[in-house]
Amino acid sequence: MSSFSDYEIMRHRIPLYINGSLTESARREFEREIWRNRALGREYRDFLAIEAAFRSMERQAFPDPDAAIESIMARARKSAALAARHRWERRRVRNALCGPRVAWTLLVIGLLVLVLLLVR
């Protein structure tokens, strides 16, 4: 499989392979190609992960759409709270390192070094 179009053909066969819709010869050819082509193998594993996620979603039956929306909103609020906390921590570190105290401290240390060098 040297051309881009052959790769695309195999790539489009991934869902058919997962569903078991390929003929025996096409299945064998696809399996050989997965081992030869790393990119195709990576896409195949990605498709498997997506399929597993969809299957788990199918098993989770929300009683109603409001419960689904509430679940999504709870995750979003949790994510937003974490993001706000990280922003606050970054701001705190930036203020501690870039604040006037640090600048004045560095200035005093520089002046002390200068005075010590001039005294010698």
The string of pLDDT tens digits covering residues 59-80 is: 666 567 777 778 878 888 888 8
Residue boundaries of the structural domains of the chain? 1-61, 64-120
Name the phi and psi angles at 23, rounded to 5: -70, 165
Residue 109's pLDDT is what? 92
Question: Has residue 4 got a pLDDT over 70?
Answer: no
Residue with structure tokens 């569903």?
19
CA nearest to 17, candidates 37, 43, 38: 43
Residue 28's pLDDT is what? 92
Chain segment 7-41, per-residue pLDDT in tens = 888 888 998 998 888 999 999 999 999 888 888 88
Token pair for 57: 């979603």
The CA distance from 103 to 3, in Å, is 61
Contact of 30 with 10, CB cutoff 8 Å: yes
The CA distance from 15 to 46, in Å, is 11
Chain segment 101-110, per-residue pLDDT in tens = 878 888 899 9
pLDDT band at 113, cuts 50/70/90? very high
Residue 111's pLDDT is what? 92
CA nearest to 22, candidates 59, 31, 42: 31
The CA distance from 59 to 71, in Å, is 16
Element (H, E) at 30: helix 24-36
